[in-house]
Amino acid sequence: MAETNEKTQCLIIGSGPAGYTAAIYAARGDLKPILYQGLQPGGQLTTTTEVENFPGYPDGTQGPEMMEDLKKQAERFETDVRWGMITSVDLSQRPFKITADDGKVITAETLIIATGASARWLGLPSESEYNGYGVSACATCDGYFYRGKVVAVVGGGDTAAEEATYLAKLCKKVYLVHRRDELRASKAMQNRVLKTPNIEVVWNHVPKEIVGVTEGFAKKVTGVRLANVLTGGEKTLEIDGFFVAIGHTPNSGMFRGMLDMDPNGYILTKPDSTATNIPGVFAAGDVQDHVFRQAVTAAGTGCMAAIEAERFLSAQE
């Protein structure tokens, strides 16, 4: 039988840049936050190797190391960082009832949701093998490493078109691989792709295997094998990097029916705020941001959420 044996002023779900930054600010605000790390402690950055675009790391850093730094900083101010997952929430009244996977029920005066989003992948074994070694789901994060090189982007929507045009500014050549004979992207984005000279659209093809080599302890992508969906024929493109751009899924399913969301499941927050439609519940990071999806912007909204939680509690007193 689950037992309510804990109370907290602030509970944070998620441990990426948004969650840890929220914890740092909430702890410094004397809210004594409890943070549950979730299924992927450290979030998406733990699957990234080199991170060069987060302020404060002039020589770059490894994604997992950066998340460990943020965790230590949160713990330094006495955030209670816990392994485990939140399995259910009751937001019908304050204090909110939060149930963890060990059956523990915690009552929280405020809740900060920083559960992030998960990149959609193709599901190829080779995709997993080379993830972080030439396979990426974020051109803005990793495109810099492919300056002057040849890359492929897979997808046909706005995300793929944006990634391809961004990479075209850095790379010698960009292949945009799409399974149909026309893009799903908006007309403006389609025109931009088709007018960019170093983007070549590979119509009616799907990736079958990402090809690479292992050099010592390092792996690197050297090509992608494609199958023609009309003829079944195959061909291989020689590339240095492979970008999957078929969208992201926000990790918001637990809150469906309670919090306002857009059609894709991103939690809606009020303008210039992380406040949701339920007073005392705040959302930060990729679970509410489908535009930027960067570590630094996630950290910024984590800061906002903690400050807003503190102000919310002060107003209740």
**DSSP H/E element including 274:** none
Instruction: Report the side by side order of strands in the sheet with 205-215.
Output: 205-215, 218-228, 234-238
Task: Give the pairing type, strands 61-62 and 199-202.
Answer: unpaired
Q: Which of 141, 171, 286, 289 is catalytic?
A: 141
Question: How far is the C-alpha of 304 from the C-alpha of 294, rounded, in Å?
Answer: 15
Q: Which of 10, 142, 289, 303 is catalytic?
A: 142
Between the CA atoms of 108, 311, 14 and 105, what dihedral angle is there, to the nearest 10 degrees?
Answer: 0
Helices (H), 169-216: 187-195
Would residue 10 show up in a list of annotated catalytic residues for this protein? no
Would residue 102 show up in a list of annotated catalytic residues for this protein? no
- Name the residue with tokens 């909110």: 96
Q: Which of 10, 138, 171, 303 is catalytic?
A: 138
Question: How far is the C-alpha of 107 from the C-alpha of 302, rounded, in Å?
Answer: 21
| C-alpha distances out from residue 27 to 37, 59, 193, 306, Å | 16, 29, 46, 9
Would residue 141 show up in a list of annotated catalytic residues for this protein? yes
- Is residue 53 classed as helix, strand or coil in its secondary structure? coil
Six token digits for residue 196? 């960019």
Nearest CA among 145, 159, 128 for reference residue 241: 145
Q: Are 243 and 136 in contact (CB under 8 A)?
A: yes
Beta bridge mates, 135? 131, 242
Cβ-based neighbours of 23, under 8 Å, separated by 6 or more? 12, 33, 35, 74, 77, 79, 81, 302, 306
Question: How far is the C-alpha of 45 from the C-alpha of 5, rounded, in Å?
Answer: 33
Residues identified as active-site: 138, 141-142
